[in-house]
Amino acid sequence: MLKTLKQLFDQIAPPGGGGASGNDEHRLRLATAVLLVEVMRADGHFGAAEQAAVRAALVEKFELAADEAERLVELATSTAKEATDLFGFTSRLNERFSDAQKLRMVELMWAVAYADGSLADHERHLMWRVADLLHVPQGAYVLARQRAAAGVGPRSSS
């Protein structure tokens, strides 16, 4: 199984990305995907709409092809099952994302939470915890939730 995970990880490598910066990019992508998958898993239902929202968020955030996003979701799902906390993933985003990028990440996570048409208490709690760990201000967090609930299209994600 470890070999399969490594193969998946190697397949989602950015072209020409080698060395330490390539590994950093891998870890950033995986951390982002794990947080999105955690939202999908929070209510115990893994519906097609939530899965599609996770893939769409990864395609938008990292400009991935559909098959690359799918492989990243598979790797993130197995990583999420073994994770014991969120700090390792949110700290990676805190290191590399600007405040605007972290806010966009929260918006994408809300989009996953709302993708199935309902919001479970576990999803709401997870979103609050992640936003807190990402140091997203309460007002921005609320606006991100409102935009996702209203189905407002993506803002700039840079």
pLDDT at 16 over 50: no
Residue 158: what pLDDT?
Answer: 40
Number of H helices, E strands in the chain: 8, 0
HSE-CB for 131 with a 13 A CA cutoff: 23
pLDDT at 46 over 90: no
Looking at residues 63-79, what average pLDDT do you find?
A: 94
What is the distance between the alpha carbons of residues 37 and 125, in angstroms, rounded to a whole number? 15
Looking at residues 67-82, what average pLDDT do you find?
A: 94
What is the distance between the alpha carbons of residues 104 and 57, in angstroms, rounded to a whole number? 10
What is the distance between the alpha carbons of residues 11 and 126, in angstroms, rounded to a whole number? 29
Q: Using one digit for the tens of pLDDT, what is the confidence trace for 81-103?
A: 999 999 999 999 999 999 999 99
Report the phi/psi class of residue 154: left, alpha or beta, with left for phi > 0 and alpha for psi in -120 to 50.
Answer: beta
Name the pLDDT band for 17 (thresholds 50, 70, 90).
very low
pTM over 0.85: no
Residue 152: what pLDDT?
Answer: 54
| Cα 40 from chain centroid (whole Å) | 10
pLDDT at 13 over 90: no
Q: Using one digit for the tens of pLDDT, what is the confidence trace for 100-140?
A: 999 999 999 999 999 988 888 999 999 999 999 999 999 99
Domain topology for 2-11+23-150: TerB-like (1.10.3680)
pLDDT at 38 over 80: yes
What is the pLDDT of the chain when averaged over all its residues?
84
pLDDT at 155 over 90: no
Name the pLDDT band for 77 (thresholds 50, 70, 90).
very high
Cβ–Cβ under 8 Å, residues 144 and 106: yes
Q: What are the extents of the domains in the chain?
A: 2-11+23-150
